[in-house]
């Protein structure tokens, strides 16, 4: 049976009862609206202008800025390509390594607890600190990595790392993954510990091997954790602004320029309206990539 509609008097009584609690939300909503929602809406207005960010006047240029971003801006295209390679590196390495560590350290033993804490340490460091550490690791002359290769007689493996145009962005992606593997490992551990042990016991009695148990029990049941990890990693990859600048300086080289640094450079060049247009495209790209990833994950877990 359907519930009868509430009378106006009961609705008002409920509102009076809940009003004190709703007032607690007002400061957060006001701050969010003023410092996030309003600037986002204003960016759509600025994207149709040639404003330099300083002058009191500007000209309306319509969709010219958006057309320029999507058309002949080779710097933006290069930054997008770099960002996609960076995203691919971070999502694959970070997700697989954090899941592997979670599977190995899921038991609440003292060694596992100690190793979890050890792997989590990089996550509490700032991106600038991480960049500072890895700049010494990647130093092309006598950096720690090159010294290590020489020490074991593999001088042919020495590299300039961030100086290699084709691989520089991948090396930065490995740094990003190293810094956050421990953080995402905790999310996977939480998901794994929710799986009933009886399912594994029944599968063992049926003769299922390790891979079969992982494929048909573990992987489908950690779908929520996997979705969180991949979505978070995707957004994180598009926001790796401070790590890029910490490793390469400002402005970054063409091989390390990603969308966030490209937009920042455009702002710095006093092209405020054009940077706003780039930001809108940036936002659409993040939304599209996130939606596609979630659908792909859902399909892969339905197949198993």
Domain range summary for the chain, segments of one domain joined by +:
68-303
CA angle 53-54-56, nearest 5°? Answer: 110
The model carries a pTM of: 0.81
- Exposure b/e, 176-213, CB count within 10 A at least 16 = b: bbbbbbbbbbbbbbebbeeeeeeeeeeeeeeebeeeeb
174 has pLDDT over 90? yes
Q: Are 160 and 176 in contact (CB under 8 A)?
A: no
pLDDT computed for residue 6 by the predictor: 57
Task: Please tell me the distance from the alpha carbon of residue 39 to that of residue 50, in angstroms, as a whole number.
Answer: 17
- More reliable by pLDDT, 249 or 36: 36
pLDDT tier for residue 1 given thresholds of 50, 70 and 90: very low
Residue 29 Cα distances to 15, 18, 33, 240, angstroms = 18, 17, 6, 27
> What are 18-70's pLDDT values in tens digits?
777 788 888 899 999 999 888 888 888 889 998 888 888 888 888 888 888 88
pLDDT computed for residue 97 by the predictor: 93
Task: Please tell me the distance from the alpha carbon of residue 149 to that of residue 140, in angstroms, as a whole number.
Answer: 12
pLDDT computed for residue 93 by the predictor: 93
> Which neighbouring-strand residues pair with 49?
60
> What are 130-173's pLDDT values in tens digits?
988 898 888 888 888 888 888 888 888 888 888 888 899 999 99
Task: Please tell me the distance from the alpha carbon of residue 162 to that of residue 201, in angstroms, as a whole number.
Answer: 48
Task: Please tell me the distance from the alpha carbon of residue 94 to that of residue 180, in angstroms, as a whole number.
Answer: 7
> What are 279-303's pLDDT values in tens digits?
999 988 888 888 887 777 677 656 5
Q: Taking the domain 68-303, which CATH number applies?
A: 1.10.3720.10
Q: Which residue has the tokens 């659908």?
A: 295
Q: Token pair for residue 122?
A: 């990089």
């Amino acid at each position: 049976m359907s519930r009868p509609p509430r009378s106006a008097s009961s609705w008002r009584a409920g509102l009076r009862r809940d009003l004190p609690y709703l007032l607690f939300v007002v400061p957060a909503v006001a701050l969010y609206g003023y410092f996030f929602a309003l600037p986002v809406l204003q960016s759509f207005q600025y994207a149709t202008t040639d404003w330099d960010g300083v002058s009191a006047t500007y000209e309306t240029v319509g969709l010219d800025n958006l057309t320029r971003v999507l058309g002949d801006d080779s710097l933006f295209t290069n930054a997008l390509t770099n960002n996609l390679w960076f995203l691919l590196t971070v999502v694959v390495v970070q997700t697989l390594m954090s899941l592997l560590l979670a599977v190995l350290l899921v038991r609440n033993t003292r060694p596992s607890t100690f190793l979890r804490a050890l792997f989590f340490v990089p996550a509490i460091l700032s991106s600038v600190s991480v960049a500072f550490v890895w700049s010494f690791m990647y130093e092309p002359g006598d950096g720690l990595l090159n010294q290590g290769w020489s020490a074991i007689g593999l001088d042919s493996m020495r590299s300039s790392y961030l100086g290699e145009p084709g691989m520089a962005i991948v090396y930065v992606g490995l740094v990003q993954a190293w810094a956050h593997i421990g953080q995402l490992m905790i999310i996977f551990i939480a998901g794994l510990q929710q799986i009933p042990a009886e399912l594994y016991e029944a599968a063992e009695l049926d003769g299922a091997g390790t891979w079969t148990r992982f494929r048909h029990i573990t992987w489908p049941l950690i779908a929520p954790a996997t979705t969180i990890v991949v979505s978070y990693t995707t957004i994180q990859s598009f926001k790796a602004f401070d790590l890029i600048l910490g490793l390469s300086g400002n402005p970054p080289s063409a091989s390390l320029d990603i969308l966030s640094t490209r937009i920042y450079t455009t702002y710095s060049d006093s092209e405020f309206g054009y940077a706003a247009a780039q930001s809108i495209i940036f936002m659409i790209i993040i939304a599209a990539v996130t939606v596609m990833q979630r659908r792909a994950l859902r399909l892969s877990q339905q197949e198993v």
